[in-house]
Structure formats: C-alpha cells, structure tokens
Structure 1
Amino acid sequence: MDPATGRAYRQGVYWVEVSVPAPLLLETGLRLVDTPGVGGLVEGHADLALATVELADALIFVVSANSELTRSELDFLRRATERIHAVLFVLTQVDLYPGWQSVLIRNQALLAEHAPDYRDAPWLPVSSRYRFDATGPVTRTSPPPAVSAVVSTR
C-alpha cells in the first residue's frame, strides 16, 4: 500500500506469508500474524487489526521508543481490551533514543488512563543493535531470550 495515496501498489494482493526459521517458537505451534499499523495513514487498518485480534490468543503490540503512544494507538488498544486480554508490549529502538525510559513510563501512564485493562501488561524494551553486538550463541534466527520467556509463560 502506498502510504502517500492509500492505494495498493498491486491489485489483487490480499496477504503475504513469510516463513522464518525460528524453531524455538514455531515448535510450540506459535503463529504470528502481522497486521497493518493502527496509527497509519490508511483508513481501515485499525478495523482490520481488530478483526484479527478477535481470532488471536495474545497480542504483541510493537511501538518505537522515539515517541509516546499516539491517540489512534490508544483508541485501538481501548477497543482491543474488549477482544483480547493477553498482551505484550515491545518497545523497539531503545539504542537510538537515550530517553526511552521516559517514553516507557509515559506509555504506561497513558495505558492506565486509556486502556486500564492493559496497565499491568509487560513491556519489553529491545534493540537489534544491542542484540547483535552481544557475545554468546546468538543467531539471527533465534528469538531474544526475553521474548521466548514471555511468550512461553503466557
């Protein structure tokens, strides 16, 4: 979808499936479905994401550490509380934004106000850079240990 015009780049494409070799997660039958962003320029993405959430067992909500949750994201999350209770928030790019802890605290306060059912949901700060700079047996196909731990306990 072209974000500037809201029109499809190619007609007739309704979904794309991507396989990733991540045996630690996939052996358990885990299936991840990536929906369009809920704060984007294309109207209807939030409704599509909500319809998908209704079929899910859990929601992994990914946001950048560069800014707090937007009004459209908070509206989506408020509506999502009616459909799903298990949620994990992932705060990305913490290596790029030194003030990410303030963003995290503000996001938690916004959730308490706008989607209180999610106020105690876990937040996972992540950084691809820190992950690949780490020492030890880390591969590009293995999930971060913290993600594996949270997913396996939920």
Structure 2
Amino acid sequence: MARFTDDYLLYLLAQASHRASAEFHARLAGQGVAVSTWRILATLYPDSPATIGELARSCLAKQPTMTRQVARLEAQGLVKRRMAEGDRRRVVVRLTEKGRNMAAGLAAQARAHEMRLLAGLGEEAAARLKETLRGLLSEKGGSA
C-alpha cells in the first residue's frame, strides 16, 4: 500500500522544492550568502523596488524579520531604504549598485542550476510546469 504522501500535492511540492533547492543553497552557503539574503536580492533584481511587506511575502518571511534583514543588508551596502512617495508610512527597498552586481552573479548561478534541473523535462514541459505553478500561486492569492 502506498503512503498518503506519495500522492499528496502539498507534500510533493514541499519535497520537490527542498530537493531542487538543496544544491543551490549549499552553493550559496559556500559563498557566505544566506538563503534569506539571496531571496531578497533576487526579488529586487534587476530593478524592482519593493516595500518591506512585499518583500516579506515574496521571501516567505514575517515582516519584523524582513525589517531586520533589510537593515543588515543596508549596513552591508547591498540595499537602500527610502520612504514611499505619497505615503511616508511605507518604506521602499532598492538594490544599490553593489547589491545589483552581487544579485547579477547569483542570478546567473541560479539560472544555470535551474537549467540543469529542468534539462530532463524538455523545454515545453518545463514551460508548462512553471505555468501550472504560477496558476496555483495566483489562485491562492500568491504572487509569481
């Protein structure tokens, strides 16, 4: 008899994400880059400013945690924070030149890793997989 999890979508998604990410996350660690740092840089790259709340949702973090992480990255010169025009309660985060350069190198590594992962599927199946996942995210109020 098969296990429940063998055919349970949420388990399959979690396992696929964990296995697919493990090698890349190890590569990041080898370069001294935290996964949380990568997620923030990737979300803002190449020129996509975001509020703290948007970053928190995109990077799977709580807002207070994101505020601390952004402050740390700002101290490292990777991002800068500014008050949003028209709403001084909101803070908008952007990459600095240093952050953009770092993100560019990491994004190239991430794309190469993704290409290796998807190589066995073929271009059409890989595109369908991404489209299906984006559809699941948009149906559930997520963002792709």
Q: TM-score range by the shorter chain?
A: under 0.3
Higher helix share goes to which structure? 2
Which structure has more relative contact order (CA 8 Å, sep 6+)? It is: 1
The two structures have a TM-score, normalised by structure 1, of 0.25
Please identify the structure whose Cα radius of gyration is greater.
Answer: 2
With structure 2 as the length reference, what TM-score do the two structures score? 0.26
